[in-house]
Amino acid sequence: MATFETEALVLKQFDLGESDRLITLYTREKGKLKAVARGARKGNKSRSGLVLPFSYHNFILYQGKSLAKINHIESIAMNSKLREDLDYMAYASVVSEYIERAGLEDEADQALFSLLVIILEKMAQADREELLFYLTVFKAKLLLLLGVKPEIESCTVCGEKVNLNGSTPLSVEEGGSICKNCFNNNNKYTLFSLNEMRALYKVTFAEISQLKAAQFSANILEKINEITEKFLIYHLDLKPKSLTFLHTIRKMNN
C-alpha cells in the first residue's frame, strides 16, 4: 500500500454514509480511480469539500485495498460554472460520462487526460452558445484517440481516394465515406457536402487552440454533433445516460 501524487479531475461523486463521499476520479498517473473523501459532506471548511464534479486538483492519495483515500488536495481549477448552471452541467456531465465509460482503471492515458482537462476548462469559460461546439470537438477527438475516427478521404469499402466535391455519402456502419463505385442504396448513410467534410476533418485533426466556435455554422455543427454521437454508439458502445438529460435541456431551449 502506498501513497502517490497525481493530478485528477472529478468525474462524479456519491454520498457515502453520514459525512463521506465516494468519488470517481480520472487521474493523470493511473487512469480511472475510485476514492473516498472523508468528511466531505461536513461543509466547505473541510478540504475534502472541494472535491466536486468537474473540478481539477492535485491529489496525494493513499491506495487502500479497494479504494483510495485522499490525504491532501491542492486545487488547480474549480470549473464552478459547470455546476452552477443547468446547461453547462448537462454538457459537462456528458463529457465526464464518456470518460468514465471509455477510461480504464489503473491504466494511464495522457492524451485522454489532457483532452478532458482542456474541454472542461474551455466549457467552464465558454459562452452558452459555444457549449455544443466544445462537446462536438470533444467527441471528434475521443473518436480519434480511441481509433475509430470517421474515414473521410478514402472509400471505406474499396480504399480508393474519394472525390469529395458535391455530396458524399458517409456511413456510420462502414466507418466513413463511400465512393460512387461502391455506393448502393442498401447503405445507410448521411450526405456530407465538401464544406461539411472539411469541418469534420478540422474538428478531428486541428489543435483545440486553433479551433473557434464561430468558424462553424449551426447546421454544420449539428450534423457533426450527430454523426460523432452515432460513431461512439455504433463502434464503441459509448452512450452516456446523461445524453437523455442533455437532449431534454436542448429541446427546452429551442
The residues binding Zn ion (CB under 5 A) are: 155, 157-158, 179, 182
* Minimum gap (Å) between residue 157 Cβ and Zn ion: 4
Closest to 151 measured CA to CA, from 211, 102, 217, 197:
197
* Minimum gap (Å) between residue 188 Cβ and Zn ion: 16
Q: Please say which residue, 19 or 154, places its beta carbon nearer to Zn ion.
A: 154
Residue with cell 466536486: 52
Q: How many CB atoms are closer than 10 A to CB 216?
A: 22
Q: How many CB atoms are closer than 10 A to CB 173?
A: 11
* Minimum gap (Å) between residue 84 Cβ and Zn ion: 50
Q: Please say which residue, 107 or 153, places its beta carbon nearer to Zn ion.
A: 153
Q: Please say which residue, 6 or 177, places its beta carbon nearer to Zn ion.
A: 177
Q: Please say which residue, 180 or 247, places its beta carbon nearer to Zn ion.
A: 180
Q: Please say which residue, 160 or 222, places its beta carbon nearer to Zn ion.
A: 160
* Minimum gap (Å) between residue 120 Cβ and Zn ion: 39
* Minimum gap (Å) between residue 202 Cβ and Zn ion: 24
